[in-house]
Amino acid sequence: MEKYASASELILHRKPERPVLCARPHAAARAARWFVRNFDGDVAYAYKANSSVFLLGALYGAGIRHFDVASLPELEDAATIPGTELHFMHPVKSRGAISRAYELGVRSFALDGEDELARIVEATSGPDGRARDLQLFVRVAVPAINSLIPLEHKFGVSGASAARLLVKTRQVAHSLGLTFHVGSQTTTPDAFVSAFKALHDLIVEAGVVIDRIDVGGGFPARYPNSVPDDLSKFISVIDAELENLPVREDVRLMCEPGRVLVAEAESLIVRVDARRGSNLFINDGGYGVLFDAAHLGFVFPARLISRDVGSDAPMSGFELWGPTCDSIDHMPGPFLLPSSIEEGDYIEICNIGAYGRALATGFNGYGTYDEAILLDEPMLSMFERDEEDRASDVAV
Ligand SMILES: *Cc1c(COP(=O)(O)O)cnc(C)c1O
């Protein structure tokens, strides 16, 4: 993999025909270090956000040893990483997937219904009866507050059926946990306050001993149109809420960050193939890495990298159009770029590391990328440079 000091350095040397996916592994490592240091529990990376080997390697190097996987292919992939603990946190799984996971050493499973509890118990039973070492997490429905992508409609149990499920799960679980997801890109910690309130009421109603609390993902990244609270605020809210929960003294905490660990760690270089007024036609789009910009209103930070127009050049808002023939292949933005932008220019679209690469399709013959590693900093960051960053400056 070729390394460049920056995206403009890459364009000085190459005029790529295809879009280029650029990894900044140091940004993923810094995010992971921050979580491992500041979160008082297990940090399980949500594998689906980005499974690039460069980023996985950086996360592992920074101390991530837990992975939240959602499918059998993800699990079989992650199982090749040595010395890790995998958590199969999709609440609905086939019997085949459950028993294969158990065979591969997975003991940690999420569920949100009695049917799933039965599937887990049956698929992990052996000739000596049911498994005695299951770590089961009941997924609780919690309200999404200030989240860009609510996740509470599909999964999660609440009310009397949640209490019933908790009692039944306690009977077969070696270790019993509660889990929830406040929704992706949750910009304030308020959602965690209401989630803990839901857990509190549920534990009191069910009257069972809880061994583990998994606060899920949802931790935010920075985008031009979404400026979240400091991550330390999320951590203090979670710590304070946990104090008030009727759980065992030595309860073990876990989180499943996806977006926040990798958002800053990749960017995309695209070429402007045509300009029509404030519309730029580029060589990747909503069927590629820019799904969230096309369908969920994400605005990513972007910059012109093929020409130096000076730092005080006038800027304008642009809409982006992808390369497929489909009219929904449109990223309304607006993306702020120099007003003089023209056909043939290259643009770096930053902070697309979360769910960018992961969502790209091959529609219309697109969806293949050149790849490179960049050594400079992402355009927007949630994290301050730390000791390790400064040490690697000296090493370079
Ligand atoms: C997607 C997902 C995550 C990661 O969510 P982010 O918003 O990217 O942090 C964590 N846990 C579960 C169960 C998920 O489905």
Residue 30: pLDDT above 70?
yes
Alpha-carbon span 124 to 101, nearest angstrom? 9
Residue 94: pLDDT above 80?
yes
Cα 73 to averaged position of ligand 1 atoms, centre (Å): 17
Least confident window among 38-47, 150-159, 259-268: 150-159
Which CATH number fits the domain that encloses residue 101? 3.20.20.10
Residue 69: pLDDT above 70?
yes
* Residue 391, domain member (yes or no): no
The structure tokens listed for 79 are 């199982």
Cα 3 to averaged position of ligand 1 atoms, centre (Å): 30
Which CATH number fits the domain that encloses residue 304? 2.40.37.10
Residues 179 and 285 in one domain: no
The pLDDT value given to residue 143: 83
Domain boundary among 228, 262, 296: 262
Average pLDDT, whole number, for the chain? Answer: 96
pLDDT in tens, 250-308: 999 999 999 999 999 999 999 999 999 999 999 999 999 999 999 999 999 999 999 99
How many other C-beta atoms can be found within 10 angstroms of the C-beta atom of residue 344?
A: 13
The pLDDT value given to residue 328: 96
Residue 14: pLDDT above 70?
yes
Residues 258 and 271 in one domain: no
Residue 111: pLDDT above 80?
yes
Cα 52 to averaged position of ligand 1 atoms, centre (Å): 17
152 close to ligand 1 (CB < 6 Angstrom): no
The pLDDT value given to residue 146: 78
Residues 8 and 84 in one domain: no
The pLDDT value given to residue 396: 59
Residues 108 and 202 in one domain: yes
257 close to ligand 1 (CB < 6 Angstrom): yes
Output b/e per residue, 195-215; b: 16+ Cβ within 10 A.
bbebbeebbeebebebbbbbb
Residue nearest to atom 10 of ligand 1 (CA): 217
Cα 322 to averaged position of ligand 1 atoms, centre (Å): 27
Alpha-carbon span 284 to 296, nearest angstrom? 17
Residue 386: pLDDT above 70?
yes
The pLDDT value given to residue 325: 94
The pLDDT value given to residue 56: 98
Cα 216 to averaged position of ligand 1 atoms, centre (Å): 6
Angle formed at CA 234 by CA 233 and CA 239, multiple of 5 degrees:
100
The dihedral over CA atoms of 385, 386, 391, 395, expressed in degrees to the nearest 10, equals -30
Residues 11 and 34 in one domain: no
* Residue 384, domain member (yes or no): no
| Pick from 169, 381, 137, 153: nearest CA to 254 | 137
Inter-axis angle of helices 231-243 and 190-206, nearest 10: 20
| Pick from 140, 136, 114: nearest CA to 124 | 136
304 and 338 Cβ atoms separated by less than 8 Å: yes
183 close to ligand 1 (CB < 6 Angstrom): no
Cα 149 to averaged position of ligand 1 atoms, centre (Å): 10
How many other C-beta atoms can be found within 10 angstroms of the C-beta atom of residue 257?
A: 27
Instruction: Give the containing element (helix H, strand E) for 54.
Output: helix 53-61
Residues 219 and 316 in one domain: no
Tell me the average pLDDT across 47-52. 97
Residue 158: pLDDT above 70?
yes
218 close to ligand 1 (CB < 6 Angstrom): yes
Q: Which residues contact 205 (CB under 8 A, 6 or more apart)?
A: 160, 163
Q: Which residues contact 236 (CB under 8 A, 6 or more apart)?
A: none
Residue nearest to atom 13 of ligand 1 (CA): 89
Count of domains for the chain:
2
Residues 242 and 285 in one domain: no
* Residue 396, domain member (yes or no): no
217 close to ligand 1 (CB < 6 Angstrom): yes
What's the domain range around 236?
26-262
**β-pairing, 370-374 with 3-4?**
parallel
303 secondary structure, DSSP code: E
- Amino acid in position 231: L
189 close to ligand 1 (CB < 6 Angstrom): no
| Pick from 329, 319, 318, 331: nearest CA to 366 | 329
Cα 180 to averaged position of ligand 1 atoms, centre (Å): 10
**β-pairing, 85-88 with 66-69?**
parallel
Alpha-carbon span 194 to 182, nearest angstrom? 9
